[in-house]
Structure 1
């Protein structure tokens, strides 16, 4: 145990369950230092999780935003990504259960172990042509991503108070997008002289692999939930101990009951089909753009994704519109804009696909803005969709337990869609065929999603109350929390 851990272990009581109002006065504790309170605070832990997300999926996004992980041909990398998402279809649910059994911090640590091998496999393939390692890297990435997705969201949303969850979610997702921005900013100067088609410099991977290796030490610094200290001195709850009593059968029954609700199963088409164009965009960039244009695309994609997060996060919190009106207006905007951009891209694909000789789109060439602009708008709309889906789920459900299950279902069906779309992208079909499939999949999602949008209530629902949780039980829980907090405040120095 390091000196830092020894200091914290000495200052923070390990057995918080000993604090029992019916068992007499609590044992006096040593006052907590300012450093300990800062280190154990929800904000510091959320920042750590955001930095982990920056080093893991953020860098993964930076590589894939160049098209096919920076490779010259997209098929092998698309196959590897299909394997990644295929594992995540089952892995997200499995690690969600494990996080309740062995602890969210341990699952988070597992989530930092598989991304770097994937990036290393791209480096080896780029430099030496090794192919099997890319598939192996896709498998390790799938396992790690399942663990990371099951744990990082729980920490970002569950460690802080309810009133701070929006802010903490913004910090977490904002730092993740920073990974794509910095990763792309590193790639651009390394490839700025390459105005022809091909693959990015292998030096790019070495820098990004080094960044991804920082994820593990950052994860080791994250506090387990029972050691988190809030501003008022209260401690986080040890959810692992309480949830061990819930059987796998009960968890499965709750998940199935949630999936059968109209609000969830009508979202399945859009969760599976909306972002199929992501695979097409990777093929589009590798087929027609120069290497430096692809790295520029990765940088600009990160910028517009960040702007989308900032804009929609502000817009959804506006008090001028009710939630039902806001949901309908946003969805109408997405439908009209996506249909228009798909039509524009079909025209672009026809132009570039039929060109003879084969076109190479570089920022010095005329017509580059037309080809580049449609791709950037797609990136903006994809990130906007991502936020819209989570906002819709949050508009329906209020309690954290239901939201956790709902998010796991959202990510499961997203993984199904990504697995199938990358599988099609791994086949040697023409870019136009891939684009038409993406166009058709989006069209299929419109009716069911429109039905869901018209169901959005003014205020979310607490399903625990709907299920008949007695007020006596609720009052007992709240009284226990107050008593525990009062006892724990005795160890916090007064201002």
Structure 2
């Protein structure tokens, strides 16, 4: 909705700054935590923060308590680190190498279906609202849905009871001690693959502050903001499903698929932001627009603005899916994927914290836009360097010394 559904986007921007700051710190240690407590508890505990944050915005509608929203945002960051690290570990370790793109795209489609539903709720409840803020029912609806999510997470099977499509078991979740996990996390900072992908991770949430606040919340009225997001998230579903098919093309080896994905992604992103630049040149942060002056979905010229917003959603889905696919292509080992995902979310959130703070201090919209675009472009060389060094399979490389010895013995006996 932009601005957390509020007229004054400053409180939401500050809350998001707190959220992404704690998320950045929590993400770096969340991989170890998930390996210790398991993905089911990580998702259930992580989901509680979303209920609290929506509740803080509901309270803000009545008492304008800014500190409560900011504190709730900070707590949400801690919870989100657990939730998304656990989710990433499941998504990347459960599929076979041949269908990781499909699993990622299916997750992203379901994830953004939540965004579609989350846009329908405020669209229906605020269709004729003359104010610039959503009503209480919107936040209450979100809180109920999020609370259900917490309960549903408790129904997840442990990894030991999950099997691949070919009938083979998923790598069993190992529960290492804290010392081992600490060493494993610290090694990420010297892993050349993570270092090359750091610019991509940093950029992957950077542009949300610009797209949601500078574009959606500033330029459009309340119902149009909800309508925009309905199609923004729907475009993410389409983009993820199509891009997932490309990354899993059976006729190409994995490195070639990754390279083609990189080319398609870079072209679409560059074209989208070029169009975004022309749009941004048509308005500025000041003077601020009154609600009655903002664009409505029935106004002339709205179609081209919606198309751009759709392109933002499409390219975001592809960018995020590609980040997950690259990590999944580096290993199949569950514990390592947990650390990779935690590192990704930590660095991603550090970028988000900076970008939301940039927006909160009323930075020029054009400057915000150029910085966001530059961050994505800077990430391209590291992405290409990693994808050109991807192996066609990691099944042998991921074996432990004990497993390798057992396989060698079995092969000799067969011979």
Fold-level match, TM-score > 0.5?
yes
Please name the residue that 1:472 is paired with.
Answer: 405
Query: 1:293, CA displacement in angstroms?
Result: 0.8
**In the alignment, is residue 143 of structure 1 matched against residue 143 of structure 2?**
no
The answer to whether the 8 Å contact 1:269/1:448 transfers is: yes
The answer to whether the 8 Å contact 2:57/2:69 transfers is: yes
**In the alignment, is residue 254 of structure 1 matched against residue 184 of structure 2?**
yes
CA separation of 1:341 and 1:174: change in aligned 2, threshold 3 A: closer
Query: 1:315, CA displacement in angstroms?
Result: 1.7
Output the CA distance in 2 between the equivalents of 1:256 and 1:388: 24
Report the count of equivalent residues: 407
- Note the alpha carbon deviations across 1:436-492, whole angstroms, 9 max, x for none: 221222232233333333333444475445x866732557999xxxxxxxxxxxxxx
Structure 2 SS opposite 1:422: helix
Give the aligned CA root-mean-square deviation in angstroms.
3.3
CA separation of 1:374 and 1:218: change in aligned 2, threshold 3 A: same
Query: 1:230, CA displacement in angstroms?
Result: 9.2
Output the CA distance in 2 between the equivalents of 1:141 and 1:471: 42
The answer to whether the 8 Å contact 1:115/1:140 transfers is: no
The answer to whether the 8 Å contact 2:105/2:321 transfers is: no
Please name the residue that 1:176 is paired with.
Answer: 111
Output the CA distance in 1 between the equivalents of 2:378 and 2:106: 34
The answer to whether the 8 Å contact 2:85/2:341 transfers is: no
Structure 2 SS opposite 1:214: helix
The answer to whether the 8 Å contact 2:239/2:318 transfers is: yes
Comparing 338-347 with 276-285, greater Cα deviation is found at: 338-347
Q: Which has the higher contact order (CA 8 A, sep 6+)?
A: 2
**In the alignment, is residue 399 of structure 1 matched against residue 333 of structure 2?**
yes
Query: 1:292, CA displacement in angstroms?
Result: 0.9
Q: Following superposition of structure 1 onto structure 2, how do residues 15-94 of structure 1 map, counting pairs within 5 Å?
A: 66-94=1-29
**In the alignment, is residue 268 of structure 1 matched against residue 203 of structure 2?**
no
Please name the residue that 1:188 is paired with.
Answer: 123
Q: Following superposition of structure 1 onto structure 2, how do residues 93-104 of structure 1 map, counting pairs within 5 Å?
A: 93-104=28-39
The answer to whether the 8 Å contact 1:398/1:462 transfers is: no
The answer to whether the 8 Å contact 1:394/1:460 transfers is: no
**In the alignment, is residue 204 of structure 1 matched against residue 132 of structure 2?**
no
The answer to whether the 8 Å contact 2:15/2:69 transfers is: yes
Indicate which of 423, 427, 435 corresponds to 2:357.
423
The answer to whether the 8 Å contact 2:102/2:244 transfers is: no
Q: Following superposition of structure 1 onto structure 2, how do residues 74-473 of structure 1 map, counting pairs within 5 Å?
A: 74-156=9-91, 158=93, 169=104, 171-194=106-129, 198-225=132-159, 239=173, 242-244=174-176, 246-248=177-179, 250-283=180-213, 284-353=215-284, 358=289, 359-460=293-394, 462-465=396-399, 471-473=404-406
Output the CA distance in 2 between the equivalents of 1:334 and 1:161: 23
Query: 1:328, CA displacement in angstroms?
Result: 2.7
- Note the alpha carbon deviations across 1:128-158, whole angstroms, 9 max, x for none: 3221221122022112212212323334555
Which stretches in structure 1 are left out of the alignment for 5+ residues?
1-65, 479-495
Query: 1:280, CA displacement in angstroms?
Result: 0.3
Scaled by the length of structure 1, what TM-score is found?
0.73
Output the CA distance in 2 between the equivalents of 1:477 and 1:251: 32
Scaled by the length of structure 2, what TM-score is found?
0.86
Output the CA distance in 1 between the equivalents of 2:388 and 2:19: 34
CA separation of 1:106 and 1:357: change in aligned 2, threshold 3 A: closer
Bigger radius of gyration among the two:
1
CA separation of 1:305 and 1:96: change in aligned 2, threshold 3 A: same
